[in-house]
Amino acid sequence: QVQLIESGGGLVQAGGSLRLSCAASGITLMTNNVAWFRQAPGKEREFVAAITWSDERLNYADSVQGRFTISRDNTKNTMFLQMNSLKPEDTAVYYCAAQYSFDYRAYARTNSYDYWGQGTQVTVSS
């Protein structure tokens, strides 16, 4: 079956950096749409970043544009989220997600993705 396993979360000071990894099995990330979402306590899960596989286009939420970078290592079948200039508002559980095909306009919707990791906690202190 498909498995997505996140790692790399932790506690960092505001302004610091962190890189999250998502190792995939059962699917090839190179031929899937892939994304990162996050969910803070008491809030809905929200879109962070995505790669649309057909055109390799990178997409970011306005809140992380210029600070976060999504990438993929096809050899290792692993996706990453490099997070720089972290803010306390970035504190959340971060989830990776993948889906073979969907309307490209729906990349930021949680229900566009069938496969999800279990999440990794990121905490940013002031």
- Give the pLDDT band (50/70/90) at residue 35: very high
DSSP-assigned letters across all residues of 16-31? --EEEEEEEESS-GGG
Question: How many Cβ atoms sit within 10 Å of the Cβ of residue 88?
Answer: 11
pLDDT 10s digits, 70-92: 999 999 999 999 999 999 999 99
Residue 28's pLDDT band, with cuts at 50, 70 and 90, is very high
Contacts of 54 (CB under 8 A, 6+ apart): 104
Residue 24, pLDDT > 90, answer: yes
**What gap in Å lies between CA 43 and CA 49, rounded to an integer?**
18
pLDDT at residue number 56: 82
Average pLDDT of the chain, as a whole number = 95
Question: Which pLDDT does position 20 carry in this prediction?
Answer: 98
pLDDT of 102 > 90? The answer is: no
Q: What is the pLDDT of residue 103?
A: 80
